[in-house]
Chains A and B, each alone.
Chain A
Amino acid sequence: MKPLRILVFAIVSLLAIVFVFPLYVAVLMAFKSAKMTFDSFYALPTKLDFANFVHAWETSEYPKAIMNSLLVTILSVALIVIASALAGYAIARRNKPFYNFVFLLFLSGMMVPFQVTMLPLYKLGKSLHLVNSHWGIALIYGGFGVQMGVLFFSGFVRGISREIEEAARIDGCSTPGIFFRIVLPLLKPVTATVLVLNVLYIWNDFLLPLLYLQDKQFRTIPLQQYFFFGQYSSDLNLAFAYAVMGMVPIVAFFLFMQRFIIKGIAAGAIKG
């Protein structure tokens, strides 16, 4: 048993190195100048040089982009969690054709290619004043995310025993009362799942902000990154410095949430 364990450990470690390598190159690039990379690709920088980071920080309005990303992500995720928890609960508890139909509607919505709705979404956004607004883009993300959210929440609720709810109903509790007082607290684990998946998607999304948040003051990290890449396409080192800077908040978020996420998801398990 022991040698097998060591072998497996070695294989997984090797795989881990393969996984880290591309990121290592990115970080390496960020710390070197164009000349240094040009002279020797893999050589470590001779000294820890933050020049690229300083330059990137100064020219890119990084703090503003972080604030925009945070605001958009938080608003959108909040909308998604609320709307899909409510709808998922209703669908799971009313096992009737209409609700099943709505469920399938959400599910097929996940299949709509973005290209088909891209132009209309922009037109619609313009006429409803949703463009260049944090709320506007959050509403659209809400609509995108609610489809997957409903899938998760309804699956999870189906796995919860109805007994407590029935008892509460006999005690005279109304449907919203039951939902907010009894069901909602039980939904924490699945909420964690939905939260993580959507935070990752929204934080990194590029196309929708490109359409909806073109104004400089609203740009999110990926968008700002994109414009920055365009400006310094010949200076990859600077671009990589910015890329590393853009990764820091989301990696920190994950490291901070990691334990909570796995525990949270595991606490109730996933019920498809």
Chain B
Amino acid sequence: MYDVQSHTEQALQQHDIKISSRNVQVYYGDTQALRDVDIDIEDKTVTAFIGPSGCGKSTFLRCLNRMNDTIDIARVEGTILLDGEDIYDRNLDPVQLRARVGMVFQKPNPFPKSIYDNVAYGPKIHGMARNKADLDEIVERALRRAALWDEAKDRLQAPGTSLSGGQQQRLCIARAVATEPEVLLMDEPCSALDPIATAQVEELIDELRQSYSVVIVTHSMQQAARVSQKTAFFHLGYLVEYDETGKIFTNPEDDRTESYISGRIG
């Protein structure tokens, strides 16, 4: 037999492990939302988390930059390592962590400030720019990365909220990448966008993969299939299956995965 190499663009290349979780349990008060999650998320790869509502995928995403810290009754057990470093270490500053692990939310949520200030905010508080020229450069680079520069360059002082929904979401992505994060978490970033804006954001995600590890939670199976190289399926708080996206969508190992992705009752 010949060894035939896959020529689809999404064919998996092995990358270094960026985030590694072991035995993660999450509780909201007495309810256990996640059980025994072990996963290795790779660098320079888009990883999609899919699963029905309440399966724990967003909860797990929020563990990765300690967003669950902001919920009083949430409790996280187990270990999550970012480049081998325990992110739940007592000495680690969650604000610093969130500069390294950026996040984009479901609804575009620009600050009530100008487009420029939305992007410049993070770099400013993290002291990344020495002067105005530096900051201008950072803002331009971030807006370019988010494919928003051409549309926004002539109206940088306009309020961020004056942009269209799709532009606002790209502004939020620009804001997230402005601090040069290593990991970008996206919680259903396209659910409020029309198909064209969705396609633009997806194209952007694919470009961001060159530099970052991107983790995306999505309810759209087609989106997971389109943008990700690896897919994790969560169900009832368990990580059921985690594999190459092509494998998950053509021949998954677990019946529960099959039922879910093919739209069956299960």
A is bound by B: no
CB within 8 Å of A: which residues of B?
Answer: none
